[in-house]
Amino acid sequence: MTPAAELRIAHTADLDAATRHAARALLDDVFDDMTDEDWDHALGGMHAMLWEGPELIGHASVIQRQLLYGGRAWRTGYVEAVAVRADRRRTGLGGTLMDTVERIIRGAYEVGALGSTDAGAAFYAARGWLRWLGPCSALTPRGIIRTADEEGYIYVYPATDPLDISRELTCDWREGDAW
C-alpha cells in the first residue's frame, strides 16, 4: 500500500452520501459498463476503501449471499466492486483491499465467491482463489437455471471446509447479473 493511502472499513449503513457518491464515481471510472444494478449488488455489506487525502482511490465490498453446494446452502461472502483508480494500479492497493475482504470472509462466512473478468483472473488465482470448474446455475423465480456464460469466471475462497470445485454451484437470485 502506498504510504499515503488510508484504509477504512465500514458497513453500507455507515456510509454517508458523499462516500457513496465517491465509491460510485470510482466504479464508473474503472468499469465502462457499470450499471445501477451492479452498484446495488455492492451494497448491504462491508466496504473496504482506500483514501488518499479526500480522494477515494480503491474500493471493494463483501455482501452476504447463499450458494447451493453439496445439498445445502452455504453462507457466502460475495465480493463485489473491486476497483483501484487507474493511476494507482500495480502498487499493491488491490492486494490491500483483498487482504481486508479475505479477513472478513474468513471471520464471517463459510466460503467466499466472486465473478472475475479476464483481466482479474490471474490476480485472484495468485491469492489462492479457486476457479470453479463445475457447472454454474442460479436459483431463479422459474427454478434452477444454468448460467453457462459465467462458467470459468467464478472463483471461490474456501473459508472453512474444502470444496470440490468440479461439482455444481448455484447462486441465489438477484436482479441483473446472477453472478
Please state, rounded to an integer, the average pLDDT across all residues of the chain.
96
pLDDT tens readout for residues 36-48: 999 999 999 999 9
Q: Average pLDDT, stretch 130-158?
A: 97
Which three-class secondary structure state does DSSP give residue 29?
Answer: helix
Cβ neighbours of residue 37 closer than 8 Å, sequence gap 6 or more? 175, 176, 177
Q: Taking the domains of the chain in order of start, what are their residue ranges? A: 5-171
CATH of 5-171, one of 3.40.630.30, 3.40.190.290, 2.60.120.200, 3.40.50.300: 3.40.630.30
pLDDT tens readout for residues 83-98: 999 999 999 999 999 9
Can you give the pLDDT at residue 4? 78
Cβ neighbours of residue 115 closer than 8 Å, sequence gap 6 or more? 150, 153, 154, 155, 177, 179
Can you give the pLDDT at residue 3? 57
Q: How many CB atoms lie within 10 A of CB 165?
A: 16
